[in-house]
């Protein structure tokens, strides 16, 4: 099966360039469990089995702690017979609905990775991002904490989220940066410099919120928005998300339509 948008190499795996972001699989405002666990699990399975989307992105902050569990319950067998990349993120806490705060103390990052391993039901995280740089903790201390976990075999590859070229360059002094995940869309284009920096360094760039606030998907605009990202370079991978099978079908069809 040829996935929509083609393929890309991330964290040692060849996966679909069109990824699937799982934040919306949690309850309202990405808080708690969804009212019906079957619906989000159906969307995730359809993305993988029907459309060949093999780049799955999550975070311990989604729920918090609920979406990783949904993924484990949904993919007990699928993960072994497909070249899936399940990326997660640590370093963000959720004091309440619509509340997000970075927490990058090394001891916390270690505990967060251990929690993600348990919830996902794996011995090693394929790709673990530092979800945000905590300004109260030296940046390289945060990166170093993940590097230690990588040396222990608990993380296979390390990524960075919401960073610019300067932070990427500092991190590469300590670790190989497997991917950078930042916000980018036709609606928000202020990160094009980072896109080019990643191109120069050979680092995959994962664009989250590729359809903006959802306005870009209206009136059949999803295809234009996603193709704009794909045309920025073969190292760019859009990461849309949805909790609705109909919306998922529209996203995929928008890329395969003439």
pLDDT over 90 percentage in the chain: 85
User: Which of 188, 195, 243 is CA-nearest to residue 211?
Assistant: 188
CB neighbours of residue 231 within 10 Å: 9
Using alpha carbons, list the distances in angstroms from residue 135 to 102, 130, 184, 213: 8, 13, 22, 27
Active site residue 208: no
**Band of pLDDT at residue 215, cut at 50, 70 and 90:** confident
The domain spans of the chain are 7-256
**Band of pLDDT at residue 115, cut at 50, 70 and 90:** very high
Q: How far apart are CA 231 and CA 197, in angstroms?
A: 16
Catalytic entry in 51, 62, 129, 208: 62
The answer to whether the beta carbons of residues 104 and 142 sit under 8 Å apart is yes
Asked if the 7-256 domain carries CATH number 3.40.50.1820, the reply is no
User: Which of 61, 42, 232 is CA-nearest to residue 161?
Assistant: 61
pLDDT digits over 89-109, tens only?
999 999 999 999 999 999 999
Please tell me the predicted confidence (pLDDT) of residue 141: 98
**Band of pLDDT at residue 256, cut at 50, 70 and 90:** confident
Local structure of 72: helix, strand or coil: helix
Please tell me the predicted confidence (pLDDT) of residue 79: 60
The answer to whether the beta carbons of residues 248 and 52 sit under 8 Å apart is no
DSSP 45: H
């Amino acid at each position: 099966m040829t996935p929509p948008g083609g393929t890309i190499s991330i964290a040692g795996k060849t996966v679909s360039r069109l990824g699937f972001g799982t934040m919306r699989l949690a309850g309202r405002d990405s808080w708690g469990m969804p009212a019906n666990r079957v619906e989000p699990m159906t969307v995730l399975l359809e993305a993988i089995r029907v459309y060949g989307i093999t780049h799955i992105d999550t975070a311990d902050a989604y729920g918090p702690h609920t979406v990783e569990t949904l993924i484990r319950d949904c993919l007990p067998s699928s993960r072994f017979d497909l070249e899936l990349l399940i990326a997660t993120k640590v370093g963000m806490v959720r004091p309440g609905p619509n509340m997000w705060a970075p927490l990058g103390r090394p001891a916390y990052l270690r505990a967060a990775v251990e929690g993600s391993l348990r919830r996902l039901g794996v011995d090693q995280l394929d790709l673990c991002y530092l979800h945000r740089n905590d300004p109260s903790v030296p940046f390289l201390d945060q990166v170093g904490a993940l590097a230690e976990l990588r040396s222990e075999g608990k993380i296979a590859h390390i990524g960075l989220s919401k960073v610019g070229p300067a932070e990427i360059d500092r991190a590469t002094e300590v670790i190989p940066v497997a991917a950078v995940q930042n916000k980018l869309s036709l609606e928000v284009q202020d990160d094009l410099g980072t896109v080019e920096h990643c191109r120069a360094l050979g680092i995959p760039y994962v664009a989250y919120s590729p359809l903006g606030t959802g306005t870009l998907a209206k009136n059949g605009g999803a295809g234009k928005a996603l193709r704009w990202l794909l045309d920025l370079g073969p190292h760019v991978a859009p990461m849309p998300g949805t909790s609705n099978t109909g919306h998922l079908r529209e996203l995929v069809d928008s890329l395969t339509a003439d």
